[in-house]
Protein backbone atom coordinates (compact mmCIF):
# COMPACT_ATOMS: atom_id res chain seq x y z
CA UNK A 1 0.00 0.00 0.00
CA UNK A 2 1.28 3.43 -0.96
CA UNK A 3 1.76 5.80 1.95
CA UNK A 4 0.72 9.42 1.65
CA UNK A 5 3.87 10.65 3.29
CA UNK A 6 7.41 10.75 1.90
CA UNK A 7 9.88 8.24 3.26
CA UNK A 8 12.80 10.54 4.07
CA UNK A 9 14.33 7.71 6.00
CA UNK A 10 14.81 5.64 2.83
CA UNK A 11 17.92 7.67 1.95
CA UNK A 12 19.30 7.37 5.45
CA UNK A 13 19.56 3.59 5.62
CA UNK A 14 23.00 3.02 4.10
CA UNK A 15 26.28 4.75 4.85
CA UNK A 16 26.93 5.00 1.09
CA UNK A 17 23.63 6.73 0.48
CA UNK A 18 24.13 9.10 3.36
CA UNK A 19 27.48 10.05 1.92
CA UNK A 20 26.14 10.54 -1.58
CA UNK A 21 23.32 12.81 -0.54
CA UNK A 22 25.24 14.96 1.93
CA UNK A 23 24.69 18.54 0.81
CA UNK A 24 27.59 20.29 2.49
CA UNK A 25 30.96 18.62 2.88
CA UNK A 26 34.06 19.53 4.76
CA UNK A 27 37.53 19.27 3.34
CA UNK A 28 40.96 20.23 4.68
CA UNK A 29 41.06 22.79 1.84
CA UNK A 30 38.53 24.88 3.76
CA UNK A 31 40.60 25.16 6.91
CA UNK A 32 42.98 27.83 8.17
CA UNK A 33 45.17 27.14 11.20
CA UNK A 34 45.84 30.02 13.63
CA UNK A 35 49.39 30.02 15.03
CA UNK A 36 51.04 32.02 17.81
CA UNK A 37 54.67 33.00 17.46
CA UNK A 38 56.36 34.39 20.53
CA UNK A 39 59.58 36.18 21.33
CA UNK A 40 61.72 34.55 23.99
CA UNK A 41 60.40 31.02 23.53
CA UNK A 42 63.11 28.44 22.91
CA UNK A 43 61.09 26.08 20.77
CA UNK A 44 57.50 25.76 21.89
CA UNK A 45 55.51 26.21 25.06
CA UNK A 46 51.99 24.93 25.61
CA UNK A 47 49.20 27.53 25.86
CA UNK A 48 47.12 26.56 28.91
CA UNK A 49 43.94 28.30 27.71
CA UNK A 50 44.15 26.58 24.29
CA UNK A 51 44.97 22.91 24.84
CA UNK A 52 46.80 21.42 21.88
CA UNK A 53 48.22 24.84 20.91
CA UNK A 54 51.63 26.37 21.55
CA UNK A 55 53.62 29.55 21.61
CA UNK A 56 56.19 28.85 18.89
CA UNK A 57 59.54 30.43 18.31
CA UNK A 58 59.73 32.03 14.84
CA UNK A 59 62.03 29.17 13.78
CA UNK A 60 60.18 26.23 15.32
CA UNK A 61 56.82 27.31 13.92
CA UNK A 62 58.01 25.82 10.63
CA UNK A 63 57.47 22.37 12.12
CA UNK A 64 53.74 22.77 12.74
CA UNK A 65 53.26 24.72 9.51
CA UNK A 66 54.78 21.83 7.57
CA UNK A 67 52.50 19.41 9.33
CA UNK A 68 49.45 21.51 8.49
CA UNK A 69 50.47 21.76 4.85
CA UNK A 70 51.09 18.04 4.57
CA UNK A 71 47.59 17.41 5.96
CA UNK A 72 46.10 19.45 3.12
CA UNK A 73 45.53 22.69 5.04
CA UNK A 74 46.26 25.50 2.58
CA UNK A 75 46.86 28.38 4.97
CA UNK A 76 47.98 29.52 8.41
CA UNK A 77 47.09 32.77 10.21
CA UNK A 78 49.88 34.22 12.33
CA UNK A 79 49.62 36.14 15.59
CA UNK A 80 52.62 37.53 17.46
CA UNK A 81 53.65 38.01 21.05
CA UNK A 82 56.47 40.57 21.25
CA UNK A 83 59.14 40.64 23.97
CA UNK A 84 58.19 44.18 24.86
CA UNK A 85 55.09 46.29 24.50
CA UNK A 86 54.82 50.07 24.29
CA UNK A 87 52.15 52.75 23.99
CA UNK A 88 52.21 52.76 20.20
CA UNK A 89 52.57 49.03 19.52
CA UNK A 90 55.86 49.35 17.63
CA UNK A 91 56.39 45.58 17.75
CA UNK A 92 53.57 45.21 15.24
CA UNK A 93 55.40 47.09 12.49
CA UNK A 94 59.08 46.62 13.23
CA UNK A 95 61.23 44.90 10.61
CA UNK A 96 62.55 42.46 13.21
CA UNK A 97 59.09 41.83 14.71
CA UNK A 98 58.31 38.31 15.76
CA UNK A 99 55.68 37.68 13.07
CA UNK A 100 57.89 39.28 10.43
CA UNK A 101 60.69 36.86 11.39
CA UNK A 102 58.34 33.88 11.29
CA UNK A 103 57.05 34.95 7.87
CA UNK A 104 60.57 35.04 6.42
CA UNK A 105 61.28 31.56 7.78
CA UNK A 106 58.01 30.13 6.52
CA UNK A 107 58.40 31.66 3.07
CA UNK A 108 61.77 29.94 2.75
CA UNK A 109 60.97 26.63 4.39
CA UNK A 110 57.34 25.85 3.54
CA UNK A 111 56.84 26.91 -0.06
CA UNK A 112 53.26 26.51 -1.19
CA UNK A 113 51.75 27.28 2.19
CA UNK A 114 49.61 30.43 2.14
CA UNK A 115 50.70 32.89 4.82
CA UNK A 116 48.12 35.09 6.47
CA UNK A 117 49.02 37.62 9.14
CA UNK A 118 46.75 39.37 11.60
CA UNK A 119 46.96 43.17 11.52
CA UNK A 120 46.22 44.65 14.93
CA UNK A 121 47.97 46.48 17.73
CA UNK A 122 46.46 44.87 20.84
CA UNK A 123 49.19 42.28 21.43
CA UNK A 124 51.79 45.02 21.07
CA UNK A 125 50.41 47.85 23.19
CA UNK A 126 50.86 48.25 26.95
CA UNK A 127 47.18 49.18 27.27
CA UNK A 128 46.07 46.15 25.23
CA UNK A 129 43.76 48.10 22.94
CA UNK A 130 43.61 47.63 19.19
CA UNK A 131 44.28 51.30 18.48
CA UNK A 132 46.14 54.26 19.96
CA UNK A 133 44.84 55.60 23.25
CA UNK A 134 44.55 59.33 23.89
CA UNK A 135 42.93 60.73 27.01
CA UNK A 136 41.58 57.29 27.95
CA UNK A 137 39.93 56.81 24.55
CA UNK A 138 40.82 54.58 21.62
CA UNK A 139 41.29 57.04 18.77
CA UNK A 140 40.50 56.08 15.21
CA UNK A 141 42.33 58.29 12.70
CA UNK A 142 45.74 58.48 14.39
CA UNK A 143 45.73 54.65 14.47
CA UNK A 144 45.25 54.24 10.72
CA UNK A 145 48.81 55.01 9.55
CA UNK A 146 50.16 52.49 12.07
CA UNK A 147 47.86 49.80 10.70
CA UNK A 148 49.02 50.67 7.19
CA UNK A 149 52.62 50.42 8.32
CA UNK A 150 51.92 47.07 9.99
CA UNK A 151 50.32 45.62 6.87
CA UNK A 152 53.21 46.87 4.75
CA UNK A 153 55.84 45.41 7.03
CA UNK A 154 54.02 42.04 7.03
CA UNK A 155 53.80 42.12 3.25
CA UNK A 156 57.51 42.93 2.99
CA UNK A 157 58.26 39.96 5.23
CA UNK A 158 56.31 37.64 2.97
CA UNK A 159 52.64 37.62 3.99
CA UNK A 160 50.37 36.71 1.09
CA UNK A 161 47.31 37.87 3.00
CA UNK A 162 46.94 40.61 5.61
CA UNK A 163 43.97 40.38 7.94
CA UNK A 164 43.06 43.58 9.80
CA UNK A 165 41.16 42.69 12.98
CA UNK A 166 41.29 46.03 14.79
CA UNK A 167 37.86 47.37 13.71
CA UNK A 168 39.02 50.96 13.21
CA UNK A 169 36.99 52.74 10.53
CA UNK A 170 38.79 53.35 7.26
CA UNK A 171 41.65 50.96 7.79
CA UNK A 172 41.06 48.83 4.72
CA UNK A 173 41.34 51.89 2.48
CA UNK A 174 44.62 52.99 4.06
CA UNK A 175 46.09 49.50 3.92
CA UNK A 176 45.12 49.08 0.26
CA UNK A 177 46.62 52.44 -0.61
CA UNK A 178 49.92 51.72 1.16
CA UNK A 179 50.21 48.26 -0.41
CA UNK A 180 49.52 49.61 -3.90
CA UNK A 181 52.01 52.46 -3.51
CA UNK A 182 54.79 50.25 -2.24
CA UNK A 183 54.55 47.58 -4.90
CA UNK A 184 52.40 44.99 -3.14
CA UNK A 185 49.36 45.11 -5.39
CA UNK A 186 49.02 41.32 -5.19
CA UNK A 187 48.75 41.14 -1.44
CA UNK A 188 45.26 40.10 -0.43
CA UNK A 189 43.26 41.95 2.21
CA UNK A 190 41.11 39.64 4.30
CA UNK A 191 39.10 42.04 6.39
CA UNK A 192 37.49 41.07 9.66
CA UNK A 193 34.62 43.27 8.54
CA UNK A 194 32.11 42.00 11.03
CA UNK A 195 33.84 41.41 14.30
CA UNK A 196 31.69 41.41 17.41
CA UNK A 197 32.66 42.48 20.93
CA UNK A 198 32.52 38.90 22.14
CA UNK A 199 33.08 37.03 25.37
CA UNK A 200 34.29 34.12 23.25
CA UNK A 201 37.73 35.72 22.74
CA UNK A 202 38.66 34.96 26.36
CA UNK A 203 41.13 32.10 25.82
CA UNK A 204 42.80 33.98 22.94
CA UNK A 205 43.45 37.02 25.09
CA UNK A 206 45.15 34.82 27.63
CA UNK A 207 47.13 33.13 24.88
CA UNK A 208 48.08 36.40 23.19
CA UNK A 209 48.46 38.46 26.38
CA UNK A 210 46.17 41.00 24.77
CA UNK A 211 43.39 41.67 27.27
CA UNK A 212 42.65 45.40 27.49
CA UNK A 213 44.21 46.96 30.61
CA UNK A 214 41.15 49.19 31.09
CA UNK A 215 37.62 49.17 29.73
CA UNK A 216 36.58 46.84 26.94
CA UNK A 217 36.41 46.79 23.15
CA UNK A 218 32.80 47.88 22.76
CA UNK A 219 33.72 51.29 21.34
CA UNK A 220 35.15 49.60 18.25
CA UNK A 221 33.91 46.01 18.00
CA UNK A 222 30.27 45.39 17.12
CA UNK A 223 27.31 44.89 19.40
CA UNK A 224 26.20 41.22 19.38
CA UNK A 225 22.63 42.31 18.76
CA UNK A 226 23.38 43.87 15.39
CA UNK A 227 22.95 42.09 12.07
CA UNK A 228 22.22 44.91 9.63
CA UNK A 229 25.24 46.82 10.85
CA UNK A 230 27.45 43.85 9.92
CA UNK A 231 26.22 44.09 6.35
CA UNK A 232 27.07 47.78 6.20
CA UNK A 233 30.54 47.08 7.59
CA UNK A 234 31.11 44.47 4.88
CA UNK A 235 29.85 46.74 2.12
CA UNK A 236 32.20 49.48 3.22
CA UNK A 237 35.25 47.21 3.53
CA UNK A 238 34.61 45.92 0.02
CA UNK A 239 34.34 49.47 -1.25
CA UNK A 240 37.66 50.30 0.39
CA UNK A 241 39.37 47.37 -1.29
CA UNK A 242 38.99 44.19 0.75
CA UNK A 243 39.26 40.98 -1.32
CA UNK A 244 37.75 38.61 1.21
CA UNK A 245 35.72 39.03 4.35
CA UNK A 246 36.04 37.30 7.70
CA UNK A 247 33.16 36.98 10.16
CA UNK A 248 33.92 36.52 13.79
CA UNK A 249 32.97 34.70 16.00
CA UNK A 250 31.28 32.03 13.87
CA UNK A 251 28.98 29.71 15.82
CA UNK A 252 26.84 32.30 17.61
CA UNK A 253 26.55 34.40 14.40
CA UNK A 254 25.49 31.88 11.76
CA UNK A 255 22.56 34.07 10.73
CA UNK A 256 24.94 36.91 9.93
CA UNK A 257 27.18 34.59 7.92
CA UNK A 258 24.16 33.33 6.04
CA UNK A 259 22.90 36.79 5.25
CA UNK A 260 26.35 37.99 4.19
CA UNK A 261 26.64 34.97 1.89
CA UNK A 262 23.31 35.78 0.28
CA UNK A 263 24.12 39.47 -0.24
CA UNK A 264 27.74 39.53 -1.33
CA UNK A 265 29.41 37.49 -4.04
CA UNK A 266 32.82 37.54 -2.43
CA UNK A 267 34.86 34.85 -0.69
CA UNK A 268 33.65 34.68 2.86
CA UNK A 269 35.50 33.19 5.80
CA UNK A 270 34.41 32.60 9.35
CA UNK A 271 36.57 32.45 12.46
CA UNK A 272 35.58 29.78 14.95
CA UNK A 273 37.20 31.62 17.84
CA UNK A 274 39.07 30.46 20.91
CA UNK A 275 36.01 30.34 23.18
CA UNK A 276 34.07 28.19 20.71
CA UNK A 277 37.01 25.77 20.66
CA UNK A 278 37.40 25.89 24.43
CA UNK A 279 33.75 25.06 25.07
CA UNK A 280 33.90 21.91 22.99
CA UNK A 281 37.30 20.87 24.34
CA UNK A 282 36.31 21.42 27.96
CA UNK A 283 33.02 19.57 27.66
CA UNK A 284 34.76 16.70 25.87
CA UNK A 285 37.41 16.51 28.58
CA UNK A 286 34.66 16.09 31.13
CA UNK A 287 33.07 13.40 29.06
CA UNK A 288 29.97 15.54 28.54
CA UNK A 289 30.07 15.28 24.79
CA UNK A 290 31.95 13.50 22.04
CA UNK A 291 34.63 16.05 21.16
CA UNK A 292 35.32 14.76 17.66
CA UNK A 293 31.70 14.67 16.63
CA UNK A 294 30.99 18.08 18.16
CA UNK A 295 34.01 19.49 16.33
CA UNK A 296 32.80 18.17 13.00
CA UNK A 297 29.23 19.27 13.55
CA UNK A 298 30.29 22.78 14.58
CA UNK A 299 32.43 23.14 11.44
CA UNK A 300 29.73 21.73 9.22
CA UNK A 301 27.25 24.25 10.64
CA UNK A 302 29.57 27.12 9.81
CA UNK A 303 30.10 25.83 6.27
CA UNK A 304 26.37 25.25 5.81
CA UNK A 305 25.64 28.82 6.89
CA UNK A 306 27.75 29.92 3.93
CA UNK A 307 31.40 30.24 4.92
CA UNK A 308 33.82 29.30 2.14
CA UNK A 309 36.63 28.76 4.62
CA UNK A 310 36.98 28.48 8.38
CA UNK A 311 39.75 29.67 10.65
CA UNK A 312 39.73 27.14 13.48
CA UNK A 313 41.88 25.82 16.30
CA UNK A 314 40.57 22.40 15.27
CA UNK A 315 42.27 22.66 11.86
CA UNK A 316 44.89 19.96 12.43
CA UNK A 317 42.51 17.57 14.16
CA UNK A 318 39.78 18.10 11.61
CA UNK A 319 42.16 17.69 8.67
CA UNK A 320 43.44 14.43 10.13
CA UNK A 321 39.92 13.18 10.53
CA UNK A 322 38.75 14.28 7.08
CA UNK A 323 41.60 12.72 5.14
Question: Which residues sit at the interface with ligand PBG, rule CB under 6 A?
Answer: 118, 120, 122, 130, 165, 201, 204-205, 210, 217, 273-274
Give CA angle at 190 (266, 263), nearest 5°.
Answer: 25
Q: How far is the CB of 255 from ligand PBG (least distance, A)?
A: 20
CA atoms of 254 and 236, how far apart (whole Å): 21
Among candidate residues 85, 137, 248, 293, the one labeled active-site is: 248
Q: How far is the CB of 107 from ligand PBG (least distance, A)?
A: 22
Q: Give 39 or 59: the residue with its C-beta nearer to ligand PBG.
A: 39
Q: How far is the CB of 215 from ligand PBG (least distance, A)?
A: 12
Please indicate whether residue 137 is annotated as part of the active site.
no
Please indicate whether residue 195 is annotated as part of the active site.
yes
CA atoms of 91 and 89, how far apart (whole Å): 5
Q: Give 117 or 152: the residue with its C-beta nearer to ligand PBG.
A: 117
Q: How far is the CB of 139 from ligand PBG (least distance, A)?
A: 16
Among candidate residues 85, 109, 137, 195, the one labeled active-site is: 195
In this structure, what are the phi and psi dihedrals at residue 223, rounded to the nearest 5 degrees?
A: -75, 130
* Residue nearest ligand PBG (C-beta atom): 204
Helical spans, DSSP H, in 21-88: 61-70
Q: Residue 173: which H helix or E strand, with range?
A: helix 171-181
Q: Give 28 or 203: the residue with its C-beta nearer to ligand PBG.
A: 203
CA atoms of 19 and 11, how far apart (whole Å): 10
How many CA atoms within 13 Å lie on the side-chain side of 121? 29
Task: Give the active site residues.
Answer: 195, 248
Amino acid sequence: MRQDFPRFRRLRQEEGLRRLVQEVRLSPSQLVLPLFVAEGVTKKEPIPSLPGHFHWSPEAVVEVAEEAYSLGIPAVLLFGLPAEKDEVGSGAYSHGGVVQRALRELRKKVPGLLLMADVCLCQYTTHGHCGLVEGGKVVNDPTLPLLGQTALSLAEAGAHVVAPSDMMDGRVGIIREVLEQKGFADVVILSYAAKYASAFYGPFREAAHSAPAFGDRRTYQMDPGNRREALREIEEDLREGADMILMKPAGPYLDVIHEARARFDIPLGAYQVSGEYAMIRAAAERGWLDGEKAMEESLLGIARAGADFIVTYFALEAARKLR
